[in-house]
Structure 1
C-alpha cells in the first residue's frame, strides 16, 4: 500500500511539473492543445483525485476532513473530464454547463471540509482568537469585493442571461468564502498552523486566487488556454491533494498557542482604515464599505477585550505577587533562625524578629543604620572577610560555622551559617546578600557531652585493657616462677635418675623416658602460654611487635610471611594492645587451621584511623560459621575486642580461597 501511494504521488508531481513547463511563454502557442490542455492537464487532475482518495483509505486519522477534501477533488477532476470530453465538443459550448456544476460543487464541498477543521479547532481557541478570525475574514471579504466589483459588474451587465449571471456570481462568491474561512483559520492559529493545515491553506488560497484571476481575465477578454493561470490552478489543486499526507499518523491539532499578539489584528485594522480612506474618495462599493466598517467594529472590540484581559492578567500577577510576599514574610518572621539581608555595600536591609532577639537588637532600632560587622564577633569578622565573602562572590553560596556578637554583653552565639546571593527574578544579576544562621549552642553542648562520654569510655577501656594486661602479666610471672621452675626441676631430677638406671635397672628406662617426654611437652606448653600472656614492648610500635610475634608463631614451619606498612600506627596504648592481640590471634589461626603457605601482614593509617590486615592463602572457611561456633572462642574474642575499642573487624573467607582478617581502629580509641 505504501509503495502504491508513493507511486501515485510521484506520478502526480511529474504530471504537474510537465504541464507547468508547457505553460512557459514560447514553449507552445496560445490556442487550446488537445494533448497538453486535454490529456496532460486532465490526467493531472485525475491524479490529484486519486492521491486525495488514498488518504482516508490509508489512515483513519481525521478521516471526515480528508474524505470531504477527496470528494472535492473528485468533483474537480469530474468537471475537467466532462468539459474536455463532452462540453467542449458541443457547438456552441454551453455556459453554464454540467462541468460548471461540478466545479462549483467542488468549492462548496471544500468549504465544508474547512468548516469541519474549524469545528475541531474551535474548542481550543479563546474569544480573542475568534475575534481575530472574524476581523481577518471581514477584511478579506471587503478587499475582495473592492477588487472584484468592476469584474462582476461587467460579467452581470444588462442583457446577460440569468443563469449566466448566477454562475458568474457563484464563482467569486465561493472563492471569497474560501479565502475568508482560510484567513479565519490562520488567524485562529496565530499564523502557526500544523503542516497539513498550512499546505491545505496554501492550496485553497492558490485555487481561489486562480479562479478570481480567471474571472478578471475573462471579463477583460485576455484569457487563453495553457497560460500560467492554468498551471497555478493545477499546482494549487495538487497541494490540496498532498496536504493530508503530512499528518498521516497524528491528529491535525494546532501547535501550542501563546497569548495572542496584536500585530496581525493591527495590520488588518490599518487595511480597513485604508479602505475607508478609499471610500471617502468614492472608489469603494457599498458592500465593501459596510464590511470594512464591520471589521473596524470588531477591531475596536478586540482592542477593548485585550485591554480588559491585560488588566485582569496584571491584577492576577499583582495579587499573586502580594500573596507570595505575605507568605515569604510570614515564613521568615515565624522562623527561629537569624535571617538577614544586606546590600552589596554591607549595609543591612532586613533582620527578622528571631534574629533581633538572638543578638539582643531592640525592635525599635532601624537595621538600616547598621552594617554586617555590627553583628559579628572579632572572630566572625575575620572569617567573613577571609572565607565567607570571597566564597559567596565566587560560587554564590557558602556554608560554615561562626559566632554572632551579643549586643547585651552576653557570651557570643555560636551559629551554623548558610549565606548566598539573591538574584533578581527577571534574570538580572545579584542585588543583595542573604544569610540564614541557626543557634547551635545546644548542639555544641550536646557534642561536648558526647565527647566527654567518649573520653570517659576510652579511659575506662584503657583501664580495662591495662587491668587485663596486668592480670596476664601476674599470671605469666606466677607460671614462670612457679610452674615452669618446678617442671624444670622435675626434668633435671628425671635426667639424674635416668643416668643411674642405665646400669642399675635398664628395664625402667622406657618408663622414665616417657615421663621425661611428658614433662618436656608440658614445659613447652607452658612456654607457649607465657608467649600468649606476655605483652611485648609496644612502645616500639605495633608493627615491630607483630614482627616478633610472626617470627615466634611461624618458627619451625614452612609458612612464609611478610609485613608491610609503617611500624608505628600512632594509636593510643590501649588501641595498640587491641591491635596486637587481634592480629596475633589471626596469625595463630593461620598456622593452626588454615594450612597456609604464605601470610601477609599489612599496616595502614590515615587521618581517621589505622588498619591492620592479616591475609593467608590457606584453605579458607565458611564465614557464616565462624562466630558462635564451638571451638572458635578466639574469633569471638577478636570481635569483642574490636567492638569495645570502637573499631570494626571484618573476616572475608571462602573455602579454598584463603582468609582475610581486617581490623580498623579509630585514631582516638584507647584513650
Structure 2
C-alpha cells in the first residue's frame, strides 16, 4: 500500500509540474497570439492545474505522519481555491450580468481564512517556547509588515472607498486586502517565532503564502487602477504559489520539536524590519499615508527600541554572569595550584622562572621570601637533569607542545636529589605579541623509586636463587649421570660382553640353552637403552647452547624414532640467562615428550617469540587434543604440574588449551629475554 501511494503521489507531482509549466509559459509576453481571456488556457488549463493542486495537497496531508492537521488545513484552503475557480469558470462567468460578489468570491475568501488558521496553528506550536525577545521580534515584524502593507495599498483602498458601490461590493473588495495583510502579518510572526530558520516544508509553504498574498494585493491594485489584463504574470504567480503550498508538506524533513536547543535570536531581522518602518515613515512625509500605517510603523520602531534595551540588559547580565563565572573559576584554579603538593612552575624559554607554587618551594627547600624572579631553571635541577632538559625536554616541548619524562630536582636544604615525574607543556601568550612560556607539573616519586628498587632487589634475589637452585639441580643431575655412566652402564656393558662370550660357547656345547641366553641379552640391551635415555634426561644442553639450539637437540632426540615431523619457527635469536634457559628447555622438552606419548600427532611446531621482556615458547601439535580432565593436576600425573611449577619458580606462567583446528597448544612465558645470533637450521 505504501509503495502504491508513493507512486501515485509522484505521478501527481509530475502532472502538476507539467500543467504549471505549460500555463506559466503561456503568460510569457509574445507567446499568446491575442490578448484577453482564453478559455482553453486561462480557463480549462488553469482550472485543471488548480484541481490537481488540490489533489496533491490532499495526498500530502493523507500521507503525512507529522503535522497532519497543518497540511490538512492547507489542503482545504487549496481545495477552496480550486472550487472557486471551477465555480467561476463553469457558472459565474456565464451569468449576465456577472454577479459580484459571487460564490467564487466566497470560496476564495474562505481560502484566505483557512490559510490564516494554518498559520495560527504554526504560531500556537511555537508559543510555549517563545522567549520575551522572540515575542518582541514577532510583534515588531507584525507591526512593520502591517504598516508597510497599509501604506502601499492605500492608493487602491482610497480608490475603492471613493467609488459609488453597494455595501456588499465594498465589503468584498476590502476583504481581499485585509485578509492578504493579515496573512503577511501572521507569516512574519511565524518566521520570527522560528528564528527565521524554518524547516524546508515551512519554508516552501511560506514562499507560497507570500506569493499568493503579494499577487492578490497586486491584483487589487491593477484592478483599481484599471490596468488589469487576464493571462499575465499575476496569474502565473498565483498558480506557482498555490502549487508550492500544495507540495510543501511533501518536502517535510523534520518535526518542529520543543526539546531541540535553539540558537539565540539574531539581530539582522529586527534591524531589517526597523528599516522598513523608517522607510514607511519617510514615504509618509512625501505621500499621503493613512494614520494607521504611520501608527503601526511607529509602534514597530518603539518595539524595536524596547527589544534593543532588553537585548542590552540581557547581554549585560550574561556578560556579568560570565565574568563572575570566570572569576570563580580563576579563584578555584588558583586554590588548586596553591594548595597542591606537587611542583608547579612556569618559566620563560631562556630559563628564568616566573612562578613557583608553595608546594614546589617546599619540595626543593626554597624559602618563601626568596624572589622567584632571581631563580633560574639550572638552579633547581641536577647537572644531569638540566642536560636532559636542554637536549630532550625543551626541544620536544617546542616541537610537540608537551613532553613527559622523569627527572631529578635539587634539594636546596642539602639532601639527596629528588626524583620526579615531570609533565612539561607550552603555554600560549596571554597578550598579543607576548612570548609563550614553559609550564611544568612535577610529582615527587621518591617512594615509587624506593619501591621499584626494592622490587628490583627482590627480582635479583629471586633470579640468584633460581640460578642457584637450577645449578644445584643440574649439578645433582650431572653427578647422578656420571655415577650411572661410570657404574651401571659400564657394569651392564661388561655383562653384555660376557653374555656374548657365553653364547658362543653354548652354541658348541649346549645349544638348548641359547634361548635363555638370548632373552637375557635382550633384557640387558633394553636396560642399557633405558639408562642412556636417563642420561639424556639428566644432562641439559641448555647450559652450554642457546635456547633454539637446545630445543633443536631435544626435538631431534624425542622424535628420532617416533616419526613425527617437527620444525622450529619464529624468532630463533631469542635467548634467556642460563638458569631461565634451562627451565624453558625442560618445560618445552616435557611438552614434546607428552606429544610423543599421548597426542598421536603428525606435525609438531615449536614457536619462539617475545612478549615485552618475556620469552614465549609455544608447542603446537595436530594430534587428538588434550581432555578437560587432563588439565587438572592428578595424583601420579606430574607432567603438567611439573611444567607449572618450573615456570612459576622462574617468574612465568603456562597455558594449555585445545586448538580450534585440532590438537593441543602449550604456551609458556619466561621473563628475562636476551638476544643471541643464531645460524642453526630449522630441522
| Structure 1 position 7 matched with structure 2 position 11 | yes
* Contact preservation (8 Å) 2:349, 2:438: yes
Distance 2:121 2:659 in 1: 76
Say which SS state the counterpart of residue 437 (structure 1) adopts.
strand
Correspondences of 1:35-114 after superposition (within 5 Å): 35-114=40-119
Q: CA deviation at 1:443?
A: 0.6
* Contact preservation (8 Å) 2:659, 2:665: no
* Contact preservation (8 Å) 1:333, 1:353: yes
Say which SS state the counterpart of residue 106 (structure 1) adopts.
helix
TM-score, normalised relative to structure 1: 0.87
* Higher mean C-alpha deviation, range 484-493 or range 284-293: 484-493
Relative distance call for 1:427 and 1:228 in structure 2 (3 A) is: farther
Match of residue 644 from structure 2: 639
Q: CA deviation at 1:584?
A: 4.4
Specify which of 406, 413, 417 is matched with residue 408 of structure 1. 413
Specify which of 172, 179, 182 is matched with residue 184 of structure 2. 179
CA shift digits 1:453-473 (9 cap, x unpaired): 111122222222222233334
Name structure 2 gaps, 5 residues minimum: 675-683
Specify which of 385, 390, 397 is matched with residue 390 of structure 2. 385
Relative distance call for 1:114 and 1:509 in structure 2 (3 A) is: closer
TM-score, normalised relative to structure 2: 0.86
Instruction: Name the count of aligned residue pairs.
Output: 668
* Contact preservation (8 Å) 2:609, 2:616: yes
* Higher mean C-alpha deviation, range 630-639 or range 453-462: 630-639
Match of residue 211 from structure 1: 216
Relative distance call for 1:89 and 1:350 in structure 2 (3 A) is: same
Name structure 1 gaps, 5 residues minimum: none
* Contact preservation (8 Å) 1:55, 1:244: yes
Match of residue 280 from structure 2: 275
Specify which of 420, 433, 442 is matched with residue 438 of structure 2. 433
| Structure 1 position 124 matched with structure 2 position 134 | no
CA shift digits 1:354-405 (9 cap, x unpaired): 2221122223334344343333222121111211122222222222211112
CA shift digits 1:114-172 (9 cap, x unpaired): 11111112223322122112112211221222222222111111643333332222221
| Structure 1 position 418 matched with structure 2 position 414 | no
Relative distance call for 1:150 and 1:509 in structure 2 (3 A) is: closer
* Contact preservation (8 Å) 2:564, 2:604: yes
Specify which of 400, 403, 422 is matched with residue 398 of structure 1. 403
CA RMSD of aligned residues (A): 3.8
CA shift digits 1:433-452 (9 cap, x unpaired): 33221111111111111111
* Higher mean C-alpha deviation, range 108-117 or range 265-274: 265-274
Match of residue 238 from structure 1: 243
Relative distance call for 1:294 and 1:386 in structure 2 (3 A) is: same
Q: CA deviation at 1:570?
A: 5.2
| Structure 1 position 358 matched with structure 2 position 379 | no
* Higher mean C-alpha deviation, range 632-641 or range 460-469: 632-641
Distance 1:33 1:607 in 2: 92
Distance 2:204 2:187 in 1: 11
Match of residue 306 from structure 1: 311
Specify which of 447, 456, 465 is matched with residue 451 of structure 1. 456
* Contact preservation (8 Å) 1:422, 1:430: no
Relative distance call for 1:205 and 1:662 in structure 2 (3 A) is: closer
Distance 2:287 2:102 in 1: 38
Distance 2:660 2:309 in 1: 88
* Higher mean C-alpha deviation, range 154-163 or range 488-497: 488-497
Q: CA deviation at 1:567?
A: 9.0
| Structure 1 position 334 matched with structure 2 position 339 | yes
Relative distance call for 1:521 and 1:429 in structure 2 (3 A) is: farther
Relative distance call for 1:170 and 1:334 in structure 2 (3 A) is: same
